[in-house]
Chain A
Amino acid sequence: MEITISIITGLMILGALYAIHAKDLLSAVIACGIVGYGLVICFLLLKAPDLAIVQIVVETISLIIMVAVVLDSSREELFSKPDAQGYVSSVTAILLVVVLFYFFKISIETLDAFGHGTLRMAAHYIEGATAKTGSANLVTGVIFDFRGYDTLGEATVLITAVLGVITILRIKGKK
């Protein structure tokens, strides 16, 4: 299973790289779709159907919205010549990637093997959640009971996003 997930993750990385470098913005949007739907397959392989349902529907709706935006505005990406500031920021980005990869390699050696071993907190959830919440679906029991504050925060984030969209997109003021 690890090999399958590695192949899908590689395809997702290729899709993301193509999305950055594509000249036609419509094909860049479709390449973004490779990343989203690859993530859906990864979630299904890792036995997380809750996340997979949300991801597949959200990915479809956001692809529709992005395709509508691309069709309505420019389809060509406007390239600009890199100047001195661009070189400085790209060198900084490469240095940051090297440093991050170094610390990532250190931290990955201290973790358990992939798919083995649960943290102390997660083991407590898995043992006690069904008896304490009465919910057969463990995920719902965790996100609405143990982690209720997180869910409230997510709902607040959605409200703030809608407020921002309606405020920014309004061209003519309300009379």
Chain B
Amino acid sequence: MGKYINIFMKGMTLIVKKTTQLMAGLIFLYGIYVIIHGHLTPGGGFAGGVLIAGSFILLILANGSDFMKLTREEMGSTIYENLAVLVAIFLAVSGMLFGAKVFFLNWLPKGTLGELVSAGMLPLYNIFIGIEVAASILSIFLALVIFKEEISE
């Protein structure tokens, strides 16, 4: 099965590499759009986070793990994941400090329905849950790739 390990490390052909380099940025932008408009259109933190992770996974699969110089020390995605959940919990706790003193209270002003900046805390929750989902799915994929290379060495 050495052929498949070679694909994982060196990447696929030039056509696939160039196409994914053109497409990955668009997929990343679409993920950000889905997260930011989560309180207006279908989607939200979970869907957009998985889309962002998918753009990175596409690049790694097409270009091989040598291209990004992936090692265990550069696996910073777990830090982003933990920080995002920490911020989300702090946002939830902030409801206990202002207003009616309830956990998960939506204490920011609601704004007008349908505007991009509206709905109080919901866009903030969407953004941090999106970062958390993207970082955790990317961490799982990176763990599979990196630890396999350690075995094959």
Contacts and interface: CB of A to CB of B under 8 A. Distances in A.
Interface of B is mostly: helix
Given A71-B4, A152-B88, A140 B38 contact: yes
Count class of interface residues, chain A: 35 or more
B57 A133 contact: no
Contacts of A143: 44
B37 to A, nearest CB: 8
A143 B130 CA distance: 14
Contacts of B114: 136
A61 B142 CA distance: 13
Given A72-B4, A169-B144, A57 B50 contact: yes
B133 interface: yes
A65 B51 CA distance: 15
Interface in A46-60: 49-50, 53-54, 57-58, 60
Contacts of A156: 85
Interface in B100-131: 103-104, 106, 110-111, 113-114, 118-122, 125-126, 129
Given A137-B42, A151-B129, A165-B143, A57 B51 contact: yes
Contacts of A139: 42, 44
A130 B106 CA distance: 13
B110 A134 contact: yes
A152 to B, nearest CB: 7
Contacts, number: 141
Contacts of A68: 4, 8, 144
Contacts of A72: 1, 4-5, 148
Given A57-B51, A68-B144, A159-B82, A141 B39 contact: yes
B98 interface: no
A53 to B, nearest CB: 4
A172 B144 CA distance: 14
A95 interface: no
A166 interface: yes
A144 interface: yes
B9 interface: no
6 contacts: A57-B54, A69-B144, A136-B119, A139-B42, A151-B125, A159-B81
Interface of B: 1, 4-5, 8, 34, 38-44, 46-47, 50-51, 53-54, 57, 61, 78, 81-82, 85, 88-89, 92, 103-104, 106, 110-111, 113-114, 118-122, 125-126, 129, 132-133, 136-137, 139-141, 143-144, 147-148, 150-151
